[in-house]
Amino acid sequence: MKNKKIIVLCLIITFLITLVGCSKNTDKNTNSAKDSVVIAMDAESEPAAGFDPIMGWAAGEHTHDPLFQSTLLITKDDITIGYDLAKEYTISSDGLTWTFKIRSDVKFTDGVPLTAKDVAFTYNNAMKQATETDLSMLKSVEAVDDTTVKFHFKTPHSAFAYTAAVVGIVPEHAYKAETYGKNPIGSGRYVLKQWDKGQQVILEANPNYYGEKPNIKKVTIVFMSEDASYAAAKGGQVDVAYTAPSYTVNPVKGYNILAFNSVDVRGLNLPAVPAGHKTPAKKSGETYPAGNNVTSNLAIRQAIACAIDREAIVKNVLYGYGSVAYSDSINEPWENEAMKTSYDPAKAKSILEADGWKLNAEGIYEKQGQKAEFDLLYIASNSVRTGIAMAVKEMLKQVGIKVNPIGSSWDKISTLCYETPHVFGAGLHSPTSIRSHYYTGKNFASYSNPTVDKYIDEALAATSLEASYQYWKKAQWDGTTGVTPQADSPWVWLVEIKHIYFAKENLNVVDKKIHPHGYGWTIVNNVHKWSWK
Partner 1 sequence: MNNTSSVTVLQKYQRRKLNQRSQTIIYLAFGGIFLFAITLIGTLLGDVAITTNFTQKNLVPQMAHPFGTDYLGRDMLSRTLKGMSISIYIGLFASVISALIAAILGAAAATLGKKVDAIITWFIDLVMGIPHLLLLILISYALGRGTFGVVVAVAISHWPLLTRIIRGEILQLKEANYIKIAGKLGQSKMKIVAKHMIPHIFPQFLVGLVLLFPHAILHEAALTFLGFGLPPEQPGIGIILSESMKYLALGMWWLALFPGVVLLATVMLFDLVGQSLRKIIDPRSAHD
Partner 2 sequence: MDVEKYSGIIRYIGKSIVKIVSLLIAVSILSFILVSASPVDPIRAYIGEVGMANMSAENLAKLEAYFGLNIPPVQRYWNWFSDFVQGNMGSSLLYRQPVADVIQVKFMNSMVLMTTAWMFSGILGFVLGIVAGLYRGHWIDKLIKGYSLLVASTPTFWLALVLLMVFSVWLQILPIGLSVPIGVNAAEVTVFDNLKHLLLPALTLSVIGIANITLHTREKMIDIMGEDYILFAKARGKSTVSIIRNHALRNIILPAITLQFASISEIFGGSVLVEQVFSYPGLGKAAVSAGLSGDAPLLLGVAVISAALVFVGNLIANILYGIIDPRIRRGSAYE
Residues in the chain: 533
Q: How many CB atoms lie within 10 A of CB 46?
A: 18
- Residue 260 sits at the vertex; the CA angle it makes with 255 and 263, to the nearest 5 degrees, is 155
Residues touching partner 2: how many (CB under 8 A)? 55
By CB under 8 A, tell whether 231 contacts partner 1: yes
Q: How far is residue 88's CA from residue 120's CA, in Å, rounded to a whole number?
A: 16
Q: Which stretch binds partner 2 (CB under 8 A): 148-156, 278-286, 445-453, 492-500?
A: 278-286
Amino acid identity, residue 426?
Answer: A
To the nearest whole angstrom, how small is the minimum distance from the Cβ of residue 421 to partner 2?
Answer: 18
By CB under 8 A, tell whether 257 contacts partner 1: no
Residue 408 binds which entry of partner 2, partner 1, none, with Cβ cut-offs from 5 to 8 Å by kind? partner 1
By CB under 8 A, tell whether 220 contacts partner 2: yes
Q: Which stretch binds partner 2 (CB under 8 A): 13-21, 104-112, 332-340, 356-364?
A: 13-21
Q: How far is residue 368's CA from residue 355's CA, in Å, rounded to a whole number?
A: 11
Give how far Cα 260 sits from Cα of 22, 131, 510, Å.
43, 28, 11
Between residue 124 and residue 183, which ones bind partner 1 under the rule CB under 8 A?
Answer: none
Q: Which of 152, 154, 412, 512 binds partner 2 (CB under 8 A)?
A: 412
Rounded to the nearest 10°, the torsion over CA 196, 202, 206, 207 is -120
Q: Who contacts 419 (Cβ-Cβ below 8 Å, separation ≥6)?
A: 271, 275, 288, 289, 290, 291, 292
By CB under 8 A, tell whether 131 contacts partner 2: yes
Q: Which of 227, 311, 337, 466 binds partner 1 (CB under 8 A)?
A: 227
By CB under 8 A, tell whether 104 contacts partner 2: no
By CB under 8 A, tell whether 317 contacts partner 1: yes
Q: Which of 279, 350, 408, 436 binds partner 1 (CB under 8 A)?
A: 408
The region that residue 498 occupies, defined by phi over 0 for left and psi between -120 and 50 for alpha, beta otherwise, is beta
Q: Which of 5, 25, 78, 450 binds partner 2 (CB under 8 A)?
A: 25
Give how far Cα 523 sits from Cα of 35, 189, 260, 265, Å.
17, 15, 9, 17
Q: Which of 37, 138, 305, 391 binds partner 1 (CB under 8 A)?
A: 391
* DSSP state at residue 479: S
Residue 258 binds which entry of partner 1, partner 2, none, with Cβ cut-offs from 5 to 8 Å by kind? none
**Which residue from 68, 269, 80 is spatially nearest to 181, judged by alpha carbons?**
68
Q: Which of 34, 78, 176, 198 binds partner 2 (CB under 8 A)?
A: 198
> 343 by DSSP, 3-state: which?
coil
By CB under 8 A, tell whether 360 contacts partner 2: no
Q: Which of 257, 258, 364, 390 binds partner 1 (CB under 8 A)?
A: 390
By CB under 8 A, tell whether 393 contacts partner 1: yes
Q: How far is residue 104's CA from residue 86's CA, in Å, rounded to a whole number?
A: 10
- For 393-414, letters b (16+ CB in 10 Å) and e give eebbeebbbbbebbebebeebe
Q: How far is residue 444's CA from residue 214's CA, in Å, rounded to a whole number?
A: 40
Q: Where are the alpha helices (DSSP H) in 155-225?
A: 160-164
Q: Which stretch binds partner 2 (CB under 8 A): 18-26, 144-152, 257-265, 442-450?
A: 18-26
Q: Which stretch binds partner 2 (CB under 8 A): 262-270, 329-337, 371-379, 409-417?
A: 409-417
H, E, C per residue of 99-151: EEEECCCCECCCCCECCHHHHHHHHHHHHHCCCCCCCCCEEEEEEEECCEEEE
The answer to whether the CB of 277 falls within 8 A of the CB of 301 is no
The site string for partner 2 over 279-298 (x = CB under 8 A, - otherwise) reads ---xxxxx------------
**Which residue from 444, 410, 441, 192 is spatially nearest to 328, judged by alpha carbons?**
444
By CB under 8 A, tell whether 130 contacts partner 2: yes
Q: Which of 414, 464, 506, 508 binds partner 2 (CB under 8 A)?
A: 414
Rounded to the nearest 10°, the torsion over CA 530, 55, 196, 529 is -10
To the nearest whole angstrom, how small is the minimum distance from the Cβ of residue 420 to partner 2?
Answer: 15
Q: Which of 79, 406, 416, 510 binds partner 1 (CB under 8 A)?
A: 406
By CB under 8 A, tell whether 13 contacts partner 2: no
Q: Which stretch binds partner 1 (CB under 8 A): 23-31, 288-296, 400-408, 474-482?
A: 400-408
By CB under 8 A, tell whether 197 contacts partner 2: yes
Residue 479 binds which entry of partner 1, partner 2, none, with Cβ cut-offs from 5 to 8 Å by kind? none
Q: How far is residue 199's CA from residue 455's CA, in Å, rounded to a whole number?
A: 44
Estimate the crossing angle of helix 465-476 against helix 450-461, to 10 degrees.
170
Residues touching partner 1: how many (CB under 8 A)? 27
Q: Which stretch binds partner 1 (CB under 8 A): 34-42, 223-231, 287-295, 432-440?
A: 223-231
Q: How far is residue 475's CA from residue 260's CA, in Å, rounded to a whole number?
A: 29
By CB under 8 A, tell whether 237 contacts partner 1: no
By CB under 8 A, tell whether 311 contacts partner 1: no
Name which of 211 and 236 has its Cβ closer to partner 2. 236
By CB under 8 A, tell whether 312 contacts partner 1: yes
**Residue 283 exposed, middle or buried by CB count within 10 Å (0-12, 13-18, 19+):** exposed
Q: Which of 55, 273, 294, 524 binds partner 2 (CB under 8 A)?
A: 55
Residues in contact with partner 2 by CB under 8 A are 1, 3-4, 7, 11, 14-15, 18, 21-22, 24-28, 30, 38, 48-49, 55-56, 128-132, 177, 182, 194, 196-200, 202, 220, 222, 227-228, 231-232, 234-235, 237-238, 282-286, 410-412, 414-415
Residues in contact with partner 1 by CB under 8 A are 225-227, 230-231, 234, 246-247, 249-250, 312, 315-317, 380, 383, 386-387, 390-391, 393-394, 404-408
